[in-house]
């Protein structure tokens, strides 16, 4: 299958997206902002539809809308733990408004159902050279931003009140991280589509966190699992003709379930060993 250029582009695109999704998703799960990733990927659909209507590349519109929404969501930063309803309400309202705009954009563009399907479910096999360069630029920006934010972000994620008392710029870190998340969701939508982009950003990191790994090991395992899912989805799609997002979504659920079974088995083994030693 690697004899075909479109497959080589697909594998390269999946690799770039996985390198973004692993680290960003790990921090998203640590900060309990999975709903934000879900919302941003859907909001990106509206931006892509608007870009198609105006004659721009869909990825450009997806990034623009996701960035604007990410900054709006990030304004309800983690230090405001006393107002969870307001934060969820902000995300829900932004999501609802953007989906309405996306529907109108498709209507104005006279978009066919095939266009809507492509925007919602992705077209990883249609990734071209220009899109690869765009994904590379997004990856560089995301990883650079995460590298700058990682220390204050980790501190504010684990102990937000203490971080704020120590003078850590909690709100700036939250806003910067949501901007990175917006870019990451836009990139993931190129592979899994707007509806399932969050499966790449949530499945592998959730699995890594369930294994109780430290930050460095967790980010590394999350990235490797995202690469495993995206490349595995491509291979299975080639063999079965089923869409790539199907295998990514199913694989993410299986990874998380398998991690839960492994943790239970490990805990049972520890308890059994401790009981034997006590006797």
- 48 occurs within a structural domain: yes
Task: Give the span between the Cα atoms of 96 and 185, in whole angstroms.
Answer: 17
Q: Express each pLDDT in 69-126 by its tens digit.
A: 777 776 655 445 445 555 666 666 767 777 777 777 777 776 554 555 666 666 777 7
Query: CA dihedral in degrees (25, 259, 78, 102; nearest 10)?
Result: 50
User: Model pTM greater than 0.85?
Assistant: no
Q: Are 155 and 32 in contact (CB under 8 A)?
A: no
Q: Are 183 and 149 in contact (CB under 8 A)?
A: no
- 173 occurs within a structural domain: yes
Phi, psi at 115, each rounded to 5°: -65, -45
Total domains in the chain come to: 1
Q: Express each pLDDT in 3-13 by its tens digit.
A: 888 889 889 98
Place of tokens 């090991």: 217
CATH code at position 167: 1.10.3470.10
Closest to 13 in 3D by CA, of 144, 181, 127, 121: 127
Task: Give the span between the Cα atoms of 201 and 190, in whole angstroms.
Answer: 13
Residue 34's domain spans which residues? 5-198
Mean pLDDT of the chain: 79
């Amino acid at each position: 299958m690697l004899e075909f250029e479109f497959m080589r582009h697909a594998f390269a695109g999946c690799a770039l997206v996985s390198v973004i999704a692993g680290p960003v998703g790990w921090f998203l799960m640590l900060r309990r902002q999975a709903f934000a990733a879900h919302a941003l990927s859907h909001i990106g659909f509206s931006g892509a539809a608007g870009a198609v209507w105006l004659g721009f590349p869909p990825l450009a519109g997806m990034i623009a809308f996701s960035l604007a929404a990410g900054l709006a969501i990030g304004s309800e930063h983690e230090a405001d733990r006393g107002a969870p309803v307001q934060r969820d309400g902000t995300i829900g309202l932004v999501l609802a408004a953007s989906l309405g705009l996306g529907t109108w954009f498709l209507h104005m563009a006279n978009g066919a159902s095939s266009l809507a399907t492509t925007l919602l479910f992705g077209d990883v096999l249609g990734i071209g050279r220009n899109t690869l360069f765009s994904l590379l630029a997004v990856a560089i920006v995301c990883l650079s931003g995460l590298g700058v934010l990682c220390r204050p972000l980790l501190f504010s994620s684990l102990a937000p009140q203490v971080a704020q008392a120590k003078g850590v710029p909690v709100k700036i870190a939250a806003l910067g991280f949501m901007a990175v998340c917006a870019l990451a969701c836009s990139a993931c939508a190129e592979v899994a589509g707007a509806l399932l982009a969050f499966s790449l950003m949530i499945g592998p990191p959730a699995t890594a966190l369930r294994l109780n790994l430290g930050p460095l090991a967790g980010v590394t395992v999350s990235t490797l699992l995202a690469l495993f899912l995206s490349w595995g989805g491509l291979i299975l799609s080639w063999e079965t003709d089923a869409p790539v997002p199907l295998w990514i979504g199913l694989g993410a659920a299986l990874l998380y379930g398998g991690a839960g079974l492994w943790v239970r088995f490990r805990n049972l083994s520890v308890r059994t060993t401790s009981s034997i030693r006590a006797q």
